[in-house]
Amino acid sequence: MELSGAEILWECLMREGVEVVFGIPGGANMPIYDAMLKYPVHHVLVRHEQGAAHMADGYARASGKVGVAMATSGPGATNLVTGIATAMMDSSPVVFITGQVHAHLIGGDAFQETDVTGITLPITKHNYLVTRAEEIAQVVREAFYIARTGRPGPVLIDICKNAQIQKTEFVYPEKIQLPGYQPPRTAPAAELKKAAQMIKEARRPIILAGHGLLISRAYREMQELAHRAQIPVAMTLLGIGSMPASDPLNLGMMGMHGEAYCNLAIQNADLLIALGMRFDDRVTGNLKTYAPHARKIHVEIDPSEVHKNVVVDLPLFGDLKAVLGDLLPYVEEARHDEWLDQIEEWRAESDSRDIIYWPDDGKLYTAHVIRSIWEATQGKATLTTGVGQHQMWTAQYYPFEEPYRFITSGGAGTMGFGVPAALGVWFTDKSRDVWVIDGDGSFQMTQAELSTIVQEGASIKIAIMNNHFLGMVRQWQEFFFDSRYAATPLHGPDFVKIAEAHGIPGRRITKPEEVKEALQFANQTPGPVLLDFFVEMEEAVYPMVPAGADLHDMIRRPVREKTTA
């Protein structure tokens, strides 16, 4: 069957199970868009290519499938770059497809010619420049395989315009041969037995649950390990949801804004079992004093992550689900009551400082608003966030009982991620209760995608924690720059009017007593709703481990009397 390169692309996307593509057409990918009309793939016309990238990313994280984003050459392609880096840092499987100028024009500074494969080389798992139609089927087949296997990640395919137009015989490659790409599956039995022995000998063990647990869908095996050997579980930001919040062994989030008792447990542990996490600086603090008493087991599919930041005693290479499944038969039942009692003492002390227990003083605190959203959604919503204070408060005050309900940018820390990612999440299941919790600074970076939400008829609720600051930067200025607020006070527009201009109902909330009614309004109103919460302007996220400080050297919120309510 002879087809154009553009038609071959869509034939391949269909065979990969692609149902929705996010993107914008332009001069260098017009043949692809023209061919699209022949195929039953839903295309979402975004307002900015960065939005397309985050939508495809949100879709991938919530569904476990490969997301797809498209752009034209030049600025269209470079507008994807932030989204590609975001997907790379968080190991999200997304295939980015860009148009490129005709092959014979490459290197001649043609109109909208940009070397996007060169630009994205360090921020993609792999990328391709396609100059002939004959290459397209093989490249697309490989790209999807690479994106979703091993440690997932973004793959970019840059297709020259002549390759889109040329016709050739279409043969879909049934098999892939990539001799240099062999992700490890599981660890040798001898090493698994060593790990089981280390777990048996430990008196103060702790599991560090990372994003890899969710990616490999190994959270049930991790939970079985935790309960069998009575091991408490600390989670990274992206590992949240791998252990139900209500489970007594759940210690919540670790690291810079993690729970104080969780960080203290890590620092006093005698064994760390790190699962699908990479010991980044926001998790460890000062590496020289990190978990000084602990032996360390690191289960990781990407060998480059092992010993990179923290030297471990026993690395286990492989897919987490396979490794944990093979490890469990060697792990004996155990109890660590004394260790758990110690952690409970630390937890009780932390509760005495927790803002969630403060009595109502007439002020609107973000932590209280997020807890109210949790109550209003019965803890069952899927949340996306931007990046900043609101993101950390969401991690702390919306207890997640299930995996894949908290979609946020971790490694790259990309402001503006929340709104477009929510639309991608909505496309995975349109019956989902999808909320965006955003900051006023983060929201303004991608607010143009409100138009896309309305265009698609998406039922997405948006809650802006509006403190009129770039809040997290302001907090650092308060703590470390003597409260010199350089370029962080933020004069924002009237978000309710912006919502209404898009046909989205909106409300502004300025007092605690208005919160419940506003959330009822959002829940009872079909379609998208925007709520603009005027929260306390100079509230800080606690605890906080200053950058480079010891993990146990936290800035703590002062003790305050608990409310009895």
Residue keyed to tokens 């409100």: 450
| 157 half-sphere exposure, CB direction, 13 A CA radius | 32
Look-up: residue for tokens 């993101």?
391
Tell me which amino acid residue 25 is.
Answer: P
Between strands 167-169 and 2-4, the pairing is antiparallel
Q: How far apart (Å, rounded) are the C-alpha atoms in residues 259 and 556?
A: 10
Question: Are the beta carbons of 339 and 333 closer than 8 angstroms?
Answer: no
For the question of residue 389 being annotated catalytic, the response is: no
- For residues 55 and 421, the answer to whether their CB atoms sit within 8 Å is yes
Catalytic residue among 7, 11, 16, 49: 49
Pair type for strands 460-466 and 434-439: parallel
φ, ψ dihedrals at 508, nearest 5°? -110, 135
- Active site (annotated) includes residue 472: yes
Identify the residue whose tokens are 């009595």: 359
> Could you say which of 472, 539, 544, 554 is catalytic?
472
Residues 534, 492: contact at Cβ < 8 Å?
no
Which of 111, 479, 480, 481 is catalytic? The answer is: 111
Burial class (CB in 10 A: 0-12, 13-18, 19+), 106: middle
> Are 401 and 246 contacting, i.e. CB atoms less than 8 angstroms apart?
yes
161 is catalytic: yes
What tokens were used for 208? 């560090």
Greatest Cα pair distance in the chain: 76
Q: End-to-end CA distance of the chain: give it in Å, rounded.
A: 71
Q: 275: helix, coil or strand? A: strand
| E strand map for 19-72 | 20-23, 42-45, 67-71
> Do 314 and 194 contact (CB within 8 A), yes or no?
yes
Active-site entry in 65, 125, 161, 296: 161
C-alpha span between 352 and 565 (Å, rounded) = 14
Q: How far apart are alpha carbons 224 and 372 in whole angstroms? A: 32
Distance CA 354, CA 367 (A): 10
Q: Which of 411, 407, 413, 410 is nearest to 425 (CA)?
A: 407
Handedness of CA 101, 105, 111, 114 (dihedral sign): positive
CA atoms of 535 and 368, how far apart (whole Å): 10
Tokens of 71: 């752009």
**Which of the residues 14, 19, 30, 112 is marked catalytic?**
112
Instruction: Confirm if 403 and 394 have CB atoms less than 8 A apart.
Output: no
Catalytic residues: 49, 111-112, 161, 472
